[in-house]
């Protein structure tokens, strides 16, 4: 019966390389089964178990006022475990999952569909795309089953897809549905937002598992759901395969970080008012708010006020769509960027280059509160691009914050991406500048910092 179903699927074009999309036109077609696809795909889907060590500390004792009277005490450690899914994309044991599945993990294991378990190492973490790549340890001469990538740009609304993973830890589960929308950008789970939306049931534990088409190829990696209850409500989001392919290629090339093209321009949304001022019928495109000197955008003569409307002939509706299209281009060569300038349509070639890097000199600050425990680094165009910051800002950026770090009784916390510009009117241009100030800081501090483009002045102490 399964073989017959497989033949019917193949004969109807569902498994052909260039499949013809059509609705069922007979009862026999409605009785077809997805089983042959599942049998081929399921062995490459794995469970991902991540172990985290977290410190529990009384929140009152993180404030220096309370520590003065009660002492800080030693924080207790607790082991937490998270469960997600993944998919093998290389026979040697390269596995793709979500960044948030393995974030902060001290130990990672994977389990195959045949119940075998392997330790895994984290090869690459890419928080911007919410993707991570693992490698199976001690696989010896094992050749693992793999899935191939589809061209996610060819996906259309209405295409049938299968989601495979381990929801709620109950074991490998397959659900089906259709692609219900494309290019969803306001999800908030990553910086590079351009999700495929599906109504296939996705629940906690599905994160990192594949969304596959009727050819058994990876269309996307399931990453998030919209839910008021915590369970599936028919709206799931997957990272497109073309973005996943870029991250995997970086890992296969031996990189510990993903290198993407850098435009060197700050983009903003086109509102209805801006659209009216530009003479547009509707809001679309990405408006250039500023251009970094010497950047690829500057060398291509892109100017503040230009409206970017396409990348290599593909229309972009908003800054997120532009960032996705541009970020998935391979380094080297140029991209043809469509520009609307003062009512005139232009096409300008922009070099596809990685952002320039300089010594980050990342260090964890020791010394007095409130900087003690912060991990900071020198800001560079590469780091600014990684953290989605303005590359023209100078200062030292916070890259990690300990759980116990708070400032003052109101509980203000430093955040990843905060830029510390000055302390007590002393410019902070290097991570060692902040270490020096933290070591010599008195009881009174005036801190100038930038968060989300806004300047914040903090006055601490007496």
Which listed residue (85, 129, 152, 207) is catalytic? 207
Bridge partners for 339 per DSSP: 308, 346
Report the C-alpha gap between 100 and 405 in whole angstroms.
22
Q: Is the dihedral of CA 361, 362, 367, 370 positive or negative?
A: positive
Active site residue 430: no
Active site residue 100: yes
Which listed residue (62, 126, 129, 130) is catalytic? 130
Report the C-alpha gap between 53 and 111 in whole angstroms.
21
Report the C-alpha gap between 81 and 102 in whole angstroms.
10
Which listed residue (12, 62, 82, 100) is catalytic? 100
Please state the φ and ψ torsions of residue 338, each to the nearest 5 degrees. Answer: -80, 130
Contact between 459 and 436 under an 8 Å Cβ cutoff? The reply is no
Contact between 16 and 7 under an 8 Å Cβ cutoff? The reply is no
Active site residue 207: yes
- With a CB cutoff of 8 Å and minimum separation 6, the contacts of 346 are 338, 339, 340
Contact between 409 and 65 under an 8 Å Cβ cutoff? The reply is yes
Bridge partners for 338 per DSSP: 310, 347
Contact between 193 and 186 under an 8 Å Cβ cutoff? The reply is yes
Catalytic residues, by residue number, are 100, 130, 207
């Amino acid at each position: 019966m399964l073989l017959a179903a497989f033949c019917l699927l193949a004969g109807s074009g569902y498994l052909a390389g260039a499949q013809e999309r059509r609705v069922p036109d007979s009862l026999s077609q409605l009785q077809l089964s997805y089983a042959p696809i599942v049998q081929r795909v399921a062995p490459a889907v794995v469970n991902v178990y991540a172990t985290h060590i977290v410190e529990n500390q009384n929140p009152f004792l993180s404030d220096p006022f309370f520590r003065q009277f009660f002492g800080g005490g030693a924080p207790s450690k607790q082991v937490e475990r998270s469960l997600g899914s993944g998919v093998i994309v290389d026979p040697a044991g390269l596995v793709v999952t979500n960044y948030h599945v393995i974030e902060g993990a001290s130990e990672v294991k994977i389990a195959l569909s045949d119940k075998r378990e392997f330790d895994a190492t984290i090869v690459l973490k890419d928080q911007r795309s919410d993707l991570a790549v693992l490698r199976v340890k001690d696989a010896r001469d094992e050749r693992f089953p793999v899935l191939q990538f589809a061209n996610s740009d060819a996906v259309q609304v209405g295409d049938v897809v299968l989601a495979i993973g381990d929801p709620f830890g109950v074991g490998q589960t397959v659900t089906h549905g259709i692609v219900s929308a494309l290019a969803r950008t306001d999800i908030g789970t990553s910086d590079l937002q351009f999700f495929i939306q599906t109504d296939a049931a996705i629940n906690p534990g599905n994160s990192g598992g594949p969304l596959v088409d009727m050819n058994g190829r990876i269309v996307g990696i399931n990453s998030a759901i919209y839910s008021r209850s915590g369970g599936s409500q028919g709206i799931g989001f997957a990272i497109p395969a073309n973005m996943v392919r870029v991250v995997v290629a970086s890992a296969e090339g031996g990189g510990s970080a993903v290198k993407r093209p850098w435009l060197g321009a700050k983009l903003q949304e086109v509102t209805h008012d801006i659209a009216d001022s530009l003479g547009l019928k509707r809001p679309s495109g990405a408006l250039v708010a500023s251009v970094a000197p010497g950047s690829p955008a500057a060398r291509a003569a892109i100017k503040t006020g230009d409206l970017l409307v396409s990348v290599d002939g593909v229309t972009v509706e908003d800054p997120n769509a532009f960032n996705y299209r541009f970020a998935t281009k391979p380094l080297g060569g140029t991209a043809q960027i469509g520009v609307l300038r003062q009512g005139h349509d232009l096409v300008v070639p922009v070099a596809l280059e990685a952002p320039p890097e300089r010594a980050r000199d990342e260090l964890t600050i020791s010394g007095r509160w409130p900087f003690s425990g912060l991990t900071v680094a020198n800001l560079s165009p590469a780091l600014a691009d990684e953290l989605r910051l303005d590359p023209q800002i100078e200062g030292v950026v916070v890259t990690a914050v300990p759980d116990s770090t708070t400032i003052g009784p109101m509980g203000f916390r430093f955040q990843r991406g905060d830029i510390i510009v000055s302390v007590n009117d002393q410019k902070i241009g290097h991570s060692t500048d902040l270490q020096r100030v933290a070591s010599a800081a008195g009881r009174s501090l005036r801190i100038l910092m930038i968060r989300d483009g806004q300047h914040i002045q903090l006055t601490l102490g007496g």
